[in-house]
Amino acid sequence: MGFMDLREWIALLEKEEEIRRITAEVDWDRELGAIARRVLEKKGPALLFESIKGYRTGRCTKVFTGGLGSRSRLALALGFAKDVSNRDVVPYVMQKNKERVPAVTVRTGPVKDVIVRAPDVDLNALPVPRWLFRDGGRYIHTFSGIVTRDPETRVMNVGIYRGMIGTRDTIPMLLIRGGQHWGAHFVKYAERGEPMPVACVIGWDPIMPFLSGSPIPAGVCEWDVMGAYRGEPAELVKCETVDLEVPATAEIVIEGFIGHDESRYEMEGPFGEFTGYVSDLPTRRPTMNVTAITHRRDAIFRGCLEGTLPGSYSENSVMSSVQRAGIAWNILNTAGIPGIRDVYVHPITNGVNICVQIRKHYQGQPKQIAAALWGASAAQFRYKHVYVVEDDIDAASYEQIDWALAHRMNAGEGGIVVFPGSFGSPIDPSTPLEDRDVRQLGSGLWNRVLFDCTRNWKFPRRPEWDNERFPPTVRPAAEDEARVAERWNEYGLSDI
């Protein structure tokens, strides 16, 4: 099932009573973000702000946020019932991520209703929030699909990368060369001495952030994967000033170029990041020079309040709890590792921590799992801590994982493996700033850790342990449990 555009998605949320329209006037500066935070804390609905201070009239008067801020709304976006289980939705995503329905190019569409070209471009004409009082500016790109093209293969990529309004027509962005696909494109354009053409799509089918915010393998065009999820090709139109294509029914598209001259980089940050911490001192970043904006009549701005805290899960973490589990599971399958029973990502860590449940086939299997995950570029911002548990431990239960960690894991016997100096997130507050210098290092440096919470096969099987490698647990014998269950009422315990 595909939603044609943001408006149909909003209509479905309305039908399902999963959205509120805010008609009271709200300030884009801090107030809108603080409302969004309070609604996340209350596990509340998506929000459509209809009266934004200073934007009661103009080219764009509405802001939509929170559409994917709960598991039930994510389920709706994927065409499932609201209460779909992890075990149903993750395999679906694993399958769809591997399918492609190529996009088609159409002549025109509503995204061309209004076309503004440089020098008439003014980004401040959009009601872009300053989401958090600590943010360095108005973050225009928090949930936009950022489109670039590989200059060699001509395949397009769509990713979410944050960007802030610099001047009226510039957007400094967090562009990481190592790991991120547009970063690889940027390096290729630099080698050719050409600026990189970029198109930023604000507001479309919810499948767009779901796929652009997570790593699909390099070289795969995310528009084609979105087509697979939609069950019909994405209909794209050519941009006005860059050689790129964008959805014909998108709300707003910002076109431009990012050059390589570091003297033209602009300051970006800080930004309230997915870790729940405010990341980075203001830093000079690659900067997009906007050459055109095209948009629908009565365009709706789409953004997201980033940052997960205990009890308050951002849209990114809700998406990640499904995507990052599915992507990891596909990596493990591709690596040919047997016995994977479940892969679980709790939204609180966004997939920085991940738990893999296995039927143990051999002693070195957990280390093979960690090596496979850490060898994949999908691990750029994720999979810092990998737990491996056996199939009697529920990967979704922190209590059960901690029991296995307490009594099965032995650090001195290889239960903890630290893999230092690996590529990783430059926005992890536990990483020293010098290891987060993207300009120097290309990406951040991470010390990754495996917690092998499986039972050690170096222990010999023992007859007194029922021929197992580990002692039996304190559970009564099955026949004792059955007898007691049968006589339960006789004991006068029927109310327990």
Ligand X SMILES: Cc1cc2nc3c(=O)[nH]c(=O)nc-3n(C[C@H](O)[C@H](O)[C@H](O)COP(=O)(O)O)c2cc1C
Residues that bind Mn ion (CB under 5 A): 157, 181
Extended strands (E) in 229-286? 235-238, 245-247, 252-258, 266-268, 271-272, 278-279, 283-285
**54/61 Cα distance (integer angstroms):** 9
Amino acid at 430: S
Binding window for ligand X (CB under 6 A); candidates: 27-35, 174-182, 224-232, 279-287? 174-182
Q: How far is the CB of 380 from ligand X (least distance, A)?
A: 6
- Give which of ligand X, Mn ion, none residue 210 binds (C-beta under 5 to 8 Å, depending on kind): none
Binding ligand X (rule: CB under 6 A), the pick from 33, 69, 159, 270 is: 159
Dihedral (Cα; 76, 77, 78, 79), 10-degree rounding: 50
Of 2, 6, 3, which Cα lies nearest the Cα of 253? 6
Is residue 143 a contact point for ligand X (CB under 6 A)? Answer: yes
- Give which of Mn ion, ligand X, none residue 162 binds (C-beta under 5 to 8 Å, depending on kind): ligand X
**76/49 Cα distance (integer angstroms):** 21
Is residue 304 a contact point for ligand X (CB under 6 A)? Answer: yes
Binding ligand X (rule: CB under 6 A), the pick from 10, 176, 234, 404 is: 176
Is residue 316 a contact point for ligand X (CB under 6 A)? Answer: yes
Is residue 306 a contact point for ligand X (CB under 6 A)? Answer: yes
Tell me whether residue 39 or residue 404 sits nearer to ligand X (CB atom).
Answer: 39
CA distances for 216 relative to 198, 229, 355, 459, 469, angstroms: 19, 13, 20, 40, 40
Tell me whether residue 45 or residue 426 sits nearer to ligand X (CB atom).
Answer: 426
Crossing angle (nearest 10°) for helices 86-96 and 315-334: 70
Is residue 256 a contact point for ligand X (CB under 6 A)? Answer: no
**138/467 Cα distance (integer angstroms):** 64
What letter would DSSP give residue 413? G
Q: How far is the CB of 307 from ligand X (least distance, A)?
A: 9
Tell me whether residue 189 or residue 451 sits nearer to ligand X (CB atom).
Answer: 189
> Residues in contact with ligand X, total (CB under 6 A)?
21
What letter would DSSP give residue 439? H
Amino acid at 258: I
Q: Rule CB under 6 A: which of 344-403 touch ligand X? A: 380-381
Q: Rule CB under 6 A: which of 198-217 touch ligand X? A: 212-215
Tell me the residue number closest to ligand X, measured at CB.
Answer: 159
Tell me whether residue 302 or residue 408 sits nearer to ligand X (CB atom).
Answer: 302
**74/93 Cα distance (integer angstroms):** 12
- Give which of Mn ion, ligand X, none residue 180 binds (C-beta under 5 to 8 Å, depending on kind): ligand X
- Give which of ligand X, Mn ion, none residue 287 binds (C-beta under 5 to 8 Å, depending on kind): none
Is residue 33 a contact point for ligand X (CB under 6 A)? Answer: no
List the strands of the sheet with 60-65, edge to edge.
19-22, 46-49, 60-65, 299-302
Is residue 160 a contact point for ligand X (CB under 6 A)? Answer: yes
What letter would DSSP give residue 78? T
- Give which of ligand X, Mn ion, none residue 446 binds (C-beta under 5 to 8 Å, depending on kind): none
**Most distant CA pair in the chain: distance in Å?**
87
Is residue 65 a contact point for ligand X (CB under 6 A)? Answer: no
Extended strands (E) in 93-247? 104-105, 114-117, 139-141, 145-149, 156-159, 163-164, 170-172, 196-202, 235-238, 245-247
Is residue 252 a contact point for ligand X (CB under 6 A)? Answer: no
Is residue 426 a contact point for ligand X (CB under 6 A)? Answer: no
Binding ligand X (rule: CB under 6 A), the pick from 174, 226, 258, 340 is: 174
Is residue 444 a contact point for ligand X (CB under 6 A)? Answer: no
CB 199 within 8 A of CB 253: yes
Binding site for ligand X (CB under 6 A): 142-143, 157, 159-162, 174, 176, 180-182, 212-215, 304, 306, 316, 380-381
